[in-house]
């Protein structure tokens, strides 16, 4: 067995460069060319590769340390046979421009025709989207809203503020009724009919989302149902959706616009360390009012019938792998 010190190689004219990522720890096995750390200068980043193969016995840098050529990064225990066969030095590390990692995507160009044309298109019919579209129409612009779900109002009206308030109001009444006993008025313990409560909440939601649809019509704002994605800076393709969720019908429409407002909202994420379990719900799941006895059924419903404007769970970006150029999302985030 031999111990090999792996040092910062020739990094050009830089002598005091911070370590911004560290991919190794004591006990890891490492191969020659695996990245040990990323260094960052004003304008560029560089992955420093290992020149040795074996087990890491010491890590002599920490995140944020500033290093220069010759600084020992790790000590690797390597078998004599591997040491004898190892190349004299790792391939030289090279700086790459910082902007390369974050280069802005180049816009595509749509050469085909458009089915409809607007002064302004708003992607997303939540409170941000519908109010912007209504205002644009009030100012005299020809406006449309693109929304993938059946009803307007986004998270707030469908699975956020409004259903929460409907349930909170009921909870408040129950709470007040119990407290009024101090004034000599007593009620029997309430019995809760969950199905009726759910229907009450859905009725409140339906009234408000229906009202929004009427307001859009009154202002001549077109509502285009479907999942929109950009073709270029002036065209969105809308994949038509149907039903209470976002099943695609297969029909597409190209919408041309002079200006666009993206009001696509947000989505709940599934935290990778939390198990998939029907008893663990996001806010949309909670507002469906699943009962604990029926948790299994509720989980089944959630998977197969996502609610209107449901917060879809998705995986956040995966952590970067050692030596890696990873960072791809596990699954496409909700736009």
Ligand X SMILES: Cc1cc2nc3c(=O)[nH]c(=O)nc-3n(C[C@H](O)[C@H](O)[C@H](O)COP(=O)(O)OP(=O)(O)OC[C@H]3O[C@@H](n4cnc5c(N)ncnc54)[C@H](O)[C@@H]3O)c2cc1C
Of 2, 41, 242, 283, which one interacts with ligand X (CB under 6 A)? 283
Of 9, 154, 290, 307, which one interacts with ligand X (CB under 6 A)? 154
Of 265, 307, 310, 323, which one interacts with ligand X (CB under 6 A)? 265
- The answer to whether residue 285 forms part of the interface with ligand X (CB under 6 A) is no
> What's the length of the chain?
335
Tell me the C-alpha distance between 213 and 134, whole Å: 11
Closest residue to ligand X, based on beta-carbon distance? 265
Rounded to the nearest 10 degrees, what angle do helices 161-179 and 194-218 cross at? 140
- The answer to whether residue 160 forms part of the interface with ligand X (CB under 6 A) is yes
Annotate each residue in 97-136 with x if it binds ligand X (CB under 6 A) or - if it does not, as one string.
Answer: --------------------------xxxxxxx-------
Cβ 270 to ligand X shortest distance, Å: 15
Cβ 330 to ligand X shortest distance, Å: 19
Please, what's the b/e burial string for 117-138 (b: 16 or more CB within 10 A of its CB; e: otherwise)? ebebbbbbbbbbbbebbbebbe
Of 79, 109, 181, 266, which one interacts with ligand X (CB under 6 A)? 266
Do the Cβ atoms of 103 and 91 come closer than 8 Å?
Answer: no
DSSP 240-267: EEETTTTEEEEEEEEEEEEEEEE-----
Q: Given the complex with ligand X, which of 78 and 309 has the nearer CB atom? A: 309
- The answer to whether residue 47 forms part of the interface with ligand X (CB under 6 A) is no
- The answer to whether residue 278 forms part of the interface with ligand X (CB under 6 A) is no
Find all residues with CB under 8 Å of 57, minimum gap 6, and list them: 3, 26, 75, 76, 77
Q: Which 3 state secondary structure label does DSSP give 124?
A: coil
Total of chain residues touching ligand X, rule CB under 6 A: 26
Of 14, 118, 227, 257, which one interacts with ligand X (CB under 6 A)? 227
Tell me the C-alpha distance between 24 and 63, whole Å: 11
Q: Which helix (H) or strand (E) holds 200?
A: helix 194-218
- The answer to whether residue 307 forms part of the interface with ligand X (CB under 6 A) is no
Stretches 32-40, 42-50, 154-162, 298-306: which one binds ligand X (CB under 6 A)?
A: 154-162
- Give the binding site for ligand X (CB under 6 A): 123-129, 146-149, 154-156, 160-161, 164, 227-228, 263-266, 283, 309, 335
């Amino acid at each position: 067995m031999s111990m090999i010190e792996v040092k910062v190689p020739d990094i050009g004219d830089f002598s005091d460069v911070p370590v911004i990522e560290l991919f190794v720890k004591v006990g890891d096995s490492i191969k020659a060319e695996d990245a040990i750390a990323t260094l960052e200068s004003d304008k560029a980043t560089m992955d420093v590769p290992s020149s040795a193969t074996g087990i890491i016995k010491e890590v002599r840098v920490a995140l944020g340390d500033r290093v220069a050529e010759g600084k020992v990064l790790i000590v690797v225990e390597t078998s004599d046979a591997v040491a004898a066969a190892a190349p004299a030095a790792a391939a030289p590390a090279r700086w790459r421009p910082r902007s390369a990692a974050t280069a802005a995507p180049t816009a595509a160009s749509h050469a085909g025709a458009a089915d409809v044309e607007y002064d302004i298109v708003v992607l997303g019919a939540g409170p941000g989207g519908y109010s912007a579209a209504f205002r644009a129409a009030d100012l005299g612009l020809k406006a449309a809203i693109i929304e993938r779900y059946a009803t307007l109002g986004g998270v707030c009206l469908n699975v956020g503020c409004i259903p929460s308030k409907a349930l909170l109001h009921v909870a408040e009444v129950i709470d007040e009724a119990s407290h009024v006993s101090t004034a000599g008025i007593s009620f029997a313990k309430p019995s809760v009919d969950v199905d009726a409560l759910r229907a009450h909440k859905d009725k409140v939601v339906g009234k408000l989302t229906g009202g929004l649809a009427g307001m859009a019509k009154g202002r001549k704002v077109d509502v285009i149902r479907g999942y929109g994605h950009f073709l270029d800076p002036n065209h969105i393709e809308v994949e038509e959706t149907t039903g209470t969720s976002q099943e695609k019908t297969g029909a597409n429409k190209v919408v041309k616009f002079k200006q666009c407002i993206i009001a696509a909202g947000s989505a709940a994420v599934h935290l990778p360390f939390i198990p998939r379990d029907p008893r663990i719900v996001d806010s949309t799941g909670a507002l469906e009012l699943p009962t604990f006895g029926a948790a299994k059924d509720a989980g089944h419903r959630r998977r197969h019938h996502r609610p209107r404007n449901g917060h879809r769970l998705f995986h956040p970006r995966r952590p970067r792998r050692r030596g890696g150029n990873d960072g791809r999302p596990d699954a496409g985030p909700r736009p």
